[in-house]
Amino acid sequence: MPEITFPVLKKQLPPAMVEVISATPLSPLDAGDAVESIAKYIAVNGDLERSAEWNSLQIDLVCSGLWLLAGELDRSHDISQSIKTPEGSFLHGIMHRREGDFGNSKYWFRQVGPHAVYAQIAQAGGGVPEELQADGALDPYAFVDACQSAVRGKSNARPLEQIQWNEWQALMADILPSE
Protein backbone atom coordinates (compact mmCIF):
# COMPACT_ATOMS: atom_id res chain seq x y z
CA MET A 1 0.00 0.00 0.00
CA PRO A 2 1.45 3.37 -0.93
CA GLU A 3 2.02 6.02 1.68
CA ILE A 4 1.26 9.60 0.75
CA THR A 5 4.48 11.43 1.62
CA PHE A 6 3.90 14.83 0.01
CA PRO A 7 2.32 17.12 2.66
CA VAL A 8 0.38 19.19 0.12
CA LEU A 9 -1.50 16.06 -0.95
CA LYS A 10 -2.57 15.28 2.60
CA LYS A 11 -3.72 18.88 2.92
CA GLN A 12 -5.43 19.33 -0.46
CA LEU A 13 -6.91 15.92 -1.24
CA PRO A 14 -10.19 15.07 0.48
CA PRO A 15 -9.64 12.71 3.45
CA ALA A 16 -11.80 10.01 1.85
CA MET A 17 -9.64 10.14 -1.28
CA VAL A 18 -6.44 9.86 0.79
CA GLU A 19 -7.94 6.84 2.54
CA VAL A 20 -8.91 5.13 -0.74
CA ILE A 21 -5.51 5.81 -2.33
CA SER A 22 -3.62 4.63 0.76
CA ALA A 23 -5.55 1.35 0.82
CA THR A 24 -4.59 0.34 -2.74
CA PRO A 25 -1.44 -1.42 -3.91
CA LEU A 26 1.28 0.38 -5.84
CA SER A 27 0.34 0.75 -9.48
CA PRO A 28 2.06 -1.72 -11.79
CA LEU A 29 4.38 -0.48 -14.52
CA ASP A 30 2.02 -1.85 -17.15
CA ALA A 31 -1.73 -1.48 -17.54
CA GLY A 32 -2.42 -3.98 -14.78
CA ASP A 33 -5.87 -4.65 -13.38
CA ALA A 34 -8.39 -1.94 -12.60
CA VAL A 35 -8.57 -0.81 -8.99
CA GLU A 36 -12.29 -0.78 -8.25
CA SER A 37 -12.07 1.28 -5.05
CA ILE A 38 -10.53 4.27 -6.85
CA ALA A 39 -12.83 3.94 -9.86
CA LYS A 40 -15.83 3.83 -7.53
CA TYR A 41 -14.56 6.88 -5.63
CA ILE A 42 -14.25 8.88 -8.85
CA ALA A 43 -17.70 7.77 -10.02
CA VAL A 44 -19.32 8.84 -6.74
CA ASN A 45 -17.22 11.98 -6.21
CA GLY A 46 -16.78 13.26 -9.75
CA ASP A 47 -16.61 16.81 -8.48
CA LEU A 48 -13.72 15.72 -6.22
CA GLU A 49 -15.37 17.54 -3.31
CA ARG A 50 -12.92 20.41 -3.77
CA SER A 51 -14.24 22.13 -6.87
CA ALA A 52 -14.66 25.40 -4.95
CA GLU A 53 -10.93 25.43 -4.16
CA TRP A 54 -9.56 23.91 -7.37
CA ASN A 55 -9.93 25.40 -10.82
CA SER A 56 -11.33 23.31 -13.68
CA LEU A 57 -7.85 22.56 -15.07
CA GLN A 58 -6.70 21.24 -11.69
CA ILE A 59 -9.81 19.07 -11.42
CA ASP A 60 -9.24 17.62 -14.90
CA LEU A 61 -5.56 16.94 -14.19
CA VAL A 62 -6.31 15.28 -10.84
CA CYS A 63 -9.09 13.19 -12.43
CA SER A 64 -6.68 12.03 -15.15
CA GLY A 65 -4.15 11.14 -12.45
CA LEU A 66 -6.73 9.26 -10.40
CA TRP A 67 -7.78 7.25 -13.45
CA LEU A 68 -4.09 6.28 -13.83
CA LEU A 69 -4.07 5.01 -10.23
CA ALA A 70 -7.30 3.16 -10.93
CA GLY A 71 -5.65 1.42 -13.89
CA GLU A 72 -8.23 2.96 -16.21
CA LEU A 73 -5.72 4.12 -18.81
CA ASP A 74 -8.28 4.92 -21.51
CA ARG A 75 -10.23 7.17 -19.16
CA SER A 76 -7.04 8.94 -18.11
CA HIS A 77 -6.08 9.32 -21.77
CA ASP A 78 -9.48 10.79 -22.69
CA ILE A 79 -8.75 13.63 -20.28
CA SER A 80 -4.99 14.13 -20.59
CA GLN A 81 -4.89 14.23 -24.39
CA SER A 82 -7.07 17.34 -24.38
CA ILE A 83 -4.97 19.25 -21.82
CA LYS A 84 -2.37 21.33 -23.64
CA THR A 85 -0.09 22.01 -20.67
CA PRO A 86 3.18 20.40 -19.52
CA GLU A 87 1.24 18.62 -16.77
CA GLY A 88 -1.29 17.26 -19.26
CA SER A 89 1.57 16.02 -21.43
CA PHE A 90 3.20 14.49 -18.33
CA LEU A 91 0.06 12.48 -17.54
CA HIS A 92 -0.23 11.56 -21.22
CA GLY A 93 3.37 10.27 -21.15
CA ILE A 94 2.74 8.18 -18.03
CA MET A 95 -0.37 6.67 -19.60
CA HIS A 96 1.48 5.62 -22.78
CA ARG A 97 4.38 4.23 -20.72
CA ARG A 98 1.96 2.07 -18.73
CA GLU A 99 0.13 0.84 -21.82
CA GLY A 100 3.48 -0.25 -23.29
CA ASP A 101 3.73 2.37 -26.06
CA PHE A 102 7.20 3.42 -24.94
CA GLY A 103 8.14 5.50 -27.99
CA ASN A 104 4.93 7.51 -27.74
CA SER A 105 5.55 7.95 -24.02
CA LYS A 106 8.92 9.53 -24.77
CA TYR A 107 7.26 11.83 -27.31
CA TRP A 108 4.91 13.14 -24.62
CA PHE A 109 7.74 13.58 -22.14
CA ARG A 110 9.52 15.68 -24.78
CA GLN A 111 6.38 17.83 -24.89
CA VAL A 112 6.66 18.33 -21.12
CA GLY A 113 10.10 19.90 -21.46
CA PRO A 114 12.10 20.80 -18.35
CA HIS A 115 9.91 20.52 -15.26
CA ALA A 116 10.59 21.04 -11.53
CA VAL A 117 8.76 17.78 -10.77
CA TYR A 118 11.70 15.74 -12.11
CA ALA A 119 14.00 17.01 -9.34
CA GLN A 120 11.31 16.39 -6.71
CA ILE A 121 10.94 12.79 -7.89
CA ALA A 122 14.69 12.23 -7.64
CA GLN A 123 14.67 13.41 -4.02
CA ALA A 124 11.49 11.65 -2.88
CA GLY A 125 11.23 8.42 -0.93
CA GLY A 126 14.79 7.17 -1.03
CA GLY A 127 15.65 8.81 -4.31
CA VAL A 128 16.30 7.52 -7.78
CA PRO A 129 19.30 5.44 -8.94
CA GLU A 130 21.99 7.50 -10.68
CA GLU A 131 21.44 5.70 -13.98
CA LEU A 132 17.89 7.12 -14.05
CA GLN A 133 19.01 10.69 -13.36
CA ALA A 134 20.28 13.63 -15.35
CA ASP A 135 21.60 16.65 -13.46
CA GLY A 136 20.11 15.50 -10.16
CA ALA A 137 16.62 14.98 -11.57
CA LEU A 138 14.69 12.01 -12.89
CA ASP A 139 15.53 11.43 -16.55
CA PRO A 140 12.09 10.56 -17.96
CA TYR A 141 13.56 8.81 -21.01
CA ALA A 142 15.85 6.58 -18.93
CA PHE A 143 12.87 5.85 -16.68
CA VAL A 144 10.75 4.83 -19.68
CA ASP A 145 13.57 2.51 -20.80
CA ALA A 146 13.88 1.01 -17.30
CA CYS A 147 10.12 0.44 -17.12
CA GLN A 148 10.19 -1.21 -20.54
CA SER A 149 12.96 -3.54 -19.38
CA ALA A 150 11.06 -4.43 -16.20
CA VAL A 151 7.77 -5.02 -18.03
CA ARG A 152 9.61 -7.42 -20.33
CA GLY A 153 10.92 -9.30 -17.29
CA LYS A 154 14.53 -8.20 -17.66
CA SER A 155 14.76 -6.31 -14.34
CA ASN A 156 13.03 -5.91 -10.99
CA ALA A 157 9.82 -3.85 -11.23
CA ARG A 158 9.33 -3.11 -7.51
CA PRO A 159 11.83 -0.21 -7.14
CA LEU A 160 10.48 1.31 -10.35
CA GLU A 161 6.91 1.05 -9.05
CA GLN A 162 8.00 3.08 -6.01
CA ILE A 163 9.57 5.71 -8.28
CA GLN A 164 6.37 5.74 -10.33
CA TRP A 165 4.38 6.33 -7.11
CA ASN A 166 6.68 9.23 -6.18
CA GLU A 167 6.27 10.55 -9.72
CA TRP A 168 2.48 10.55 -9.32
CA GLN A 169 2.67 12.28 -5.94
CA ALA A 170 5.13 14.94 -7.13
CA LEU A 171 3.02 15.71 -10.18
CA MET A 172 -0.22 15.93 -8.18
CA ALA A 173 1.51 18.13 -5.57
CA ASP A 174 2.66 20.43 -8.37
CA ILE A 175 -0.85 20.62 -9.83
CA LEU A 176 -2.70 21.39 -6.60
CA PRO A 177 -2.58 24.73 -4.78
CA SER A 178 0.00 24.72 -1.99
CA GLU A 179 -2.13 26.86 0.33
Q: Does residue 169 fall inside a structural domain?
A: yes
Q: What span, in angstroms and rounded, lies between the C-alpha atoms of 18 and 30?
A: 23
**Number of domains forming the structure of the chain:** 1
Model pLDDT, residue 171: 98
Model pLDDT, residue 13: 87
Q: What span, in angstroms and rounded, lies between the C-alpha atoms of 3 and 129?
A: 20
Q: Does residue 57 fall inside a structural domain?
A: yes
Model pLDDT, residue 46: 63
- Residues of the domain holding 144: 7-175
Measured CA distances, 67 to 21, 128, 178 (Å): 11, 25, 22
Q: Tens digit of pLDDT for each residue in 55-87? A: 889 989 999 999 999 999 999 999 999 999 999
Model pLDDT, residue 50: 54
Instruction: For residue 142, give the 3-state DSSP assignment.
Output: helix
Give the CA angle between residues 171, 173, 179 to the nearest 5°.
Answer: 155
Q: Does residue 2 fall inside a structural domain?
A: no
Q: Does residue 1 fall inside a structural domain?
A: no
- Of the chain, the percentage scoring pLDDT greater than 70 comes to 95
Q: Does residue 29 fall inside a structural domain?
A: yes
pTM over 0.85, yes/no: yes
